[in-house]
A and B are shown apart, each in its own frame.
Chain A
Amino acid sequence: MNIQVSTPKTSALVLRVDGLSKQFEMHHLKRTLFAFENIQFELGEGEFILLKGENGAGKSTLLRTLYRSYLPRAGHVFYHTREGIIDLASAADVDIAMLRRREIGFVTQFLNARPRVAAEEVVAEPLRQAGTPHAQALVEARRWLDAFGVKKQLWAAYPSTFSGGEQQKVNLARALILPQRLLLLDEPTASLDRDARRALVDRLTELKAAGVAMIGVFHHPEDVADLIDREIHLKAIRVEDGER
């Protein structure tokens, strides 16, 4: 797998999270569920943070809050771009959407593909949206499907018929085809076979060298042992509040 690798000059700041808190108001149950409170950390270019914690500790919730799939209750997520700093916690939806298209990626183990779109088209889509001509995007897409070990016979088929592992490989190829600036990873290796895990770690290694900042949860943390710069431990907050 090749990508232009340029060593980052300095480890410029990508993310500064400050006092970030998240709770869920479950109106029908008249209940508030606290997921995490007052989280702070920094993440620089080319840095890799491993998120740890027991089931339900709030790891996925933190990643989704950074991505703004979840709305934070309080705190800031200062994201540094070349053009300036923007607080992802309060930025306009339209800006978040644009950043997601251009530089912030989210990788999970689940594929969310539209029906009746071929695997190679699913993978090529981010490139096409970035303006790459169709034919060229397809060549790239096939290269990545191959790298993650998706059988050639499946490239033109619909992922909705694929096995869980095959869907996951398609998902990874799609999520990683464009080099992002910030990657949020939620157990991308869960239920992958060894070769695909290796391919993923190779790609993450390249991206890290290219300066991509990453924070993620890994089912097999030993896979990414060489990449980890720091670890964050989350502990579940055992407070449930009935009052509002």
Chain B
Amino acid sequence: MTALNVDTPAVPKRQPPRLMLAEPIMTMRGISKSFGDVKALGGVDVTVYPGEVLGIVGESGSGKSTLLRMMNLEDTPDTGSYNLVLPGHQDRNLFDLDRFERRMLRAHHIGIVYQNPHLGLLMNHTSSGNVAERLLIAGNRNFAELRERARQSLAASEFPTERMDATPCELSGGMQQRVQLAKAIALEPAVLLLDEPTTGLDVSVQALVLDTLKRLQRDRAITMVLVSHDLGVIRTMADRVMVMRRGLVVEQGLADQIFQDPQHAYTQQLVHAEL
């Protein structure tokens, strides 16, 4: 059935070339992980390209945070490989690194913001101290310089720097998230991992944090992996979206395609539930 008239000769079939040849910055293959009887991840592949925001959505317990912890090398899967393309790094499975090597890699190349600030911050240290500690791990020892760099990083996260000597306990949730962000970006990581970074924040603070992230992405070309239950957040932030269910990826695609033309029954349900 043809709905249209324009006459064109048949196109000779040919294999269309990949045009841009963008190389991934992060590649995970076959990641699986069980906790006792619970299969948290059932063989997940992830590819992330430089400078993009990969959004991850999916129901509670689908394995999103577990996957992010793997990316942050906090945990090791039962099977699977992980590679990051970083200057001066050879091609090796990062899960083979020992504790110290992992710590170094994390300190220099990966930043993370947890949903729960208690996981990301030392509550009895000052905010500037939290950020400086990160710089210290990377080998910086000069106190005045540490403090100044912490201040810069807090400012870049739109934290009111006159309050940098307050402990996180004295700060609002939104400010705590910005301290986490300042800490995460202090060493200009190649990859920034964000696990529900705006959950629990009121709308105006959420907009500020998202704006900060957008700016960081644009000005510093930081690659981001963003987990959120808030599809609105994913919609405004993500270039591509991965949909997870029961430890598996059920669908992935360009963000607008996932929202406008979801293919999988689960994604359709997820997207329509929000409308």
Contact = CB atoms under 8 A, between A and B. Distances in A.
Interface of A: 16, 18, 24-28, 36-42, 58, 64, 68-71, 76, 78, 81, 83-87, 90-99, 114-117, 128-129, 230, 232-235, 237, 239
A42 B6 CA distance: 8
B90 interface: no
A69 B241 CA distance: 13
13 contacts: A18-B10, A26-B268, A71-B257, A84-B17, A91-B16, A91-B18, A94-B22, A94-B52, A114-B210, A128-B218, A129-B218, A232-B4, A234-B3
Interface stretch (B176-184, B193-201, B258-266): B258-266
B212 to A, nearest CB: 11
Nearest to B266: A27
Given A16-B11, A95-B22, A114-B214, A78 B16 contact: yes
A235 to B, nearest CB: 5
B260 A69 contact: yes
A86 B52 contact: no
Contacts of A24: 261
B40 to A, nearest CB: 26
Most buried by A among B3, B20, B204: B3
A114 B211 contact: yes
Interface of B: 1-8, 10-11, 14, 16-20, 22, 49, 52, 203-204, 207-208, 210-211, 214, 218, 236, 239-240, 252-254, 256-257, 260-261, 263-265, 268-269, 272
A34 B236 CA distance: 30
Nearest to A57: B3
Contacts of A90: 16
Contacts of B256: 69
A115 B256 CA distance: 18
Give the dominant DSSP class at A's interface. Answer: mixed
Given A37-B2, A114-B214, A234-B3, A95 B20 contact: yes
Nearest to A100: B254
A76 B3 contact: no
B221 to A, nearest CB: 11
B4 A81 contact: no
Nearest to A88: B16
Given A38-B2, A93-B253, A230-B6, A86 B16 contact: yes
Nearest to A25: B263
A36 B19 contact: no
Given A64-B260, A69-B257, A76-B11, A40 B4 contact: yes
Contacts of A96: 254
Nearest to B208: A116
A150 B239 CA distance: 29
A200 to B, nearest CB: 23
Given A18-B10, A68-B254, A87 B16 contact: yes
A230 B6 CA distance: 10
B19 A234 contact: no
Contact of A81 (B1, B14, B19, B265): B19
A232 B261 contact: no
A232 B6 contact: yes
Given A16-B11, A114-B214, A39 B4 contact: yes
